[in-house]
Chain A
Amino acid sequence: MTLAVAMSGGVDSSTAAALLAENNANGGTPRVVGLTMQLWNQRRLPSLLGAEGDGSAAHATGRCCSLDDVYDARRVAAFLGLPYYVVNFESRFEEAVVRPFVESYQRGETPVPCSLCNTEIKFARFVETALQIGAERIATGHYARVRYHSATGRYQLLRAVDRVKDQSYFLFGLTQEQLARTLFPLGDLTKEEVRAIARRKNLPVADKPDSQEICFVPTGNYRRFIQAYLNEQGQKIESAEGEVVSSDGRALARHAGVRNYTIGQRKGLGIAAGRPLYVTQIDPVGRRVTVGDGSELFRRCLIAREVNWIRAVQEGDSFEAEVKIRNRHSPAGARVQALGLGQAAVEFAEPQRAVTPGQAAVFYAGEEVVGGGWIASVLD
């Protein structure tokens, strides 16, 4: 059997590859092949590279798909003696991740491109390429666990042992077919252990810093990215100006477009009110951004769309779960009900701060990811 390991050039996927490569060295199965997905060409939007003037130039740190990262991944693969290839998914990535990312912001949402990338690219397109080259299973450096549950005959997605690094939130879209093919060699390890293994094995990237930002937004400034991308597409950025209003509807200021705002945002509102103000609502149609006190940010209910159920859940089922509404959110108790048309309703026991359309709502039962979907609307 052949196994394809996705290698980004970072320490996590390199260590995952190293753990699997021990098999190659022993002549055992599976045979491991390293693949790097070329997703985005940083040279496409040169205005974003090193033009910040604040020293945060893109080349200062390793970024996904930079030539440096491909170089690192290739070096690690050579070090481990793995067959290694770069596969080009640029057009699919743009279509399935970058464009929806930009459009989501234009709708006044705050998207999670990493989840979309996992669903559309890493566990879909990548699996297809793996099958093409004869690899029936794939592995990635994600912090999460997969377990086969014999009683139900289904694969479970579980949180990583390292609760801080746990990436199960970004993986809620995986299907049974994808989970069945996937290995997460780092799921039982802590980040410290992964670094230690990388050092012990003398991996060339053992001390490479972790990447933090969205991989295709080199400076971490998504507003500039959207601007540059729309420019490149020759899309006239029609005036998207609108009003910033208070909770009681008073006009406080003008804004340049709802895409520049996210729910819960405090900085950069340009309003002197003598007390902290937060974005509490975004109305993309009326181009209206509502601001108010922190206490106004709390909501009790949400509707999720495009819900993927990892556990067998039927329409109409209702259950208690802990629901996570952004990566850094501590899951909160809620009742989840599966609706028709791939939707789910979530009612929290306690109102939650800054429930944001475009983010993912992921439903946990203890360690296990029951399912998740995209936050479509938020209700009181």
Chain B
Amino acid sequence: MRRVYFDNNATTPVAPEVFEAMRPYFVEQYGNASSIHWFGQQARAAVETAREQVACLVNARTNEIAFTSGGTESDNAAIFGVVEAARSETKHVVATAIEHHAVLHTCQALEKRGVRVTYVRVGSSGVVDPADIERAIRPETALITVMHANNEIGTLQPLEEIGRIARDHDVAFHSDAVQSVGKIPVDVEKFGLDLLSLSAHKLNGPKGAGALYIRKGTILKPLMYGGHHERDRRPGTENVAGIVGLGKAAELARAHRADDAGRVAALRDRLEAGMLEGVPLSSVAGDRARRLPTTTNISFDYIEGEGFVIAMDLRGIACSTGAACSSGSVEPSHVLTAVGRTPAQARSSIRFSLGRFSTQEEVDYALAIIPAVAEQLRSVSPHYKRREVGVRS
């Protein structure tokens, strides 16, 4: 069966160039980057090249990049790190209501330790108002953490404005930029960021590798202990092949980003328009202008998202009901609820996320199938049937 992959926000395929770059670091160049000898030096050189590639992608200095196991670790390291290092007696964090669980659950863990957290709401646009962030700041605020691109609906947060506010109030500013890095321009200077999380596997790199940008002078308490790696910021033998893959993926993203973004946005728009036209009673969540080029989150009324995703998969098309991390959960998505979708709409929502390797032919193939699948689900929905009766009478 033909397979089409429209779940690039969950993960992306490793680019062939990335895979080739990683290959030598398993069997031939297997040294430990901390070793003194030649083997170690080969590995060290590769890690440092990757550091330059990543730093370059987000306009940071190389000594401000620490490698981690991925986005979740970077988020934990940044948030716990800053808050635990803060000296004040009472501590406060400002976040948004639509953060990824890697941030949300970390904040909730802090709350159990007595830290106060304000979850700033967003309107139906899915974009936070910087003024609301500013209003949430208190004298004891230790950290502002605002994601760049939302993973479920793709909306972009005004980091530049929030960065200015953070600077004015002298509060550390972190962003989970896992979904945006490599897809749209990310500049830690322009955004005024002190900390930024990124992950390799969202930009055609390997799983299990990521990085945390830490502005020089930012004090973090480390999550783990065990060695002096990564300037005492993250102990553990470096995942050399993974880091090399991340570096190569960053380099490719920088080279192709502008072209990719325009092309992918056009494909996404074609898919979205085709669905809105082909499936009655459908609507898109969040601001359609200020969002990632890759993502559309569409609600097909009277359709159960779970059944839709399975029915699509049985026809070879991969999409999702939302974050892969919360698949199987009963609760409607916190993001969709936050942007004002009703629980029924949230349960009817499907996320399609395209990537560098998506093609127009794939979009058209999916568009030929989606209306039939939607009709198949609606034909067995008692609510949909009742609605039809209601319309006639």
Contact = CB atoms under 8 A, between A and B. Distances in A.
B310 interface: yes
B329 A88 contact: yes
A86 B328 contact: yes
Given A129-B306, A132-B311, A134-B376, 17 more contacts: A33-B314, A38-B328, A85-B310, A86-B328, A87-B306, A87-B307, A87-B310, A90-B330, A91-B330, A128-B380, A131-B376, A132-B307, A132-B376, A132-B377, A132-B380, A133-B307, A134-B314
B304 interface: yes
Interface in B338-393: 376-377, 379-380
B3 to A, nearest CB: 12
A2 B1 CA distance: 15
A83 B314 CA distance: 8
A133 B311 contact: yes
Nearest to B377: A132
B330 A88 contact: yes
Contact of B328 (A88, A91, A133): A88
Interface in A105-155: 128-129, 131-134
Contacts of B310: 85, 87, 129, 132-133
A105 B21 CA distance: 65
Interface residues of A, number: 16
Interface string A197-241: 000000000000000000000000000000000000000000000
A131 B307 CA distance: 9
Interface in A1-45: 2, 33, 38
Nearest to A91: B330
Contacts of B330: 88, 90-91
Interface in B289-339: 304, 306-308, 310-311, 313-314, 328-330
A342 to B, nearest CB: 21
Nearest to A128: B380
A132 B304 CA distance: 9
B314 A2 contact: yes
10 contacts: A2-B314, A83-B313, A85-B313, A87-B307, A91-B330, A129-B310, A131-B379, A132-B377, A132-B380, A133-B314
Nearest to B379: A131
Residue among A91, A128, A133, A134 with the highest chain B CB neighbour number at 10 A = A133
B306 to A, nearest CB: 6
Q: Which of B306, B310, B329, B330 has the most CB of A within 10 A?
A: B310
Contacts of A131: 376, 379-380
Contacts of A83: 313-314
Contacts of A90: 330
Contacts of A134: 311, 314, 376
A85 B308 CA distance: 12
Contacts of B376: 131-132, 134
B174 to A, nearest CB: 30
A38 B328 CA distance: 8
Contacts of B380: 128, 131-132
Interface string A313-351: 000000000000000000000000000000000000000
A129 B308 CA distance: 10
A83 B376 CA distance: 19
B40 to A, nearest CB: 40
B308 to A, nearest CB: 8
Contacts of B314: 2, 33, 83, 133-134
A93 to B, nearest CB: 10
A129 B313 contact: no
User: What 5 pairs across the A-B complex have the smallest Cβ distances?
Assistant: A132-B307, A131-B380, A133-B311, A133-B310, A132-B377
Contacts of B328: 38, 86, 88
A91 B347 CA distance: 13
B344 to A, nearest CB: 13
A4 to B, nearest CB: 10
Contacts of A128: 380
Interface string A86-99: 11101100000000
A214 B377 CA distance: 32
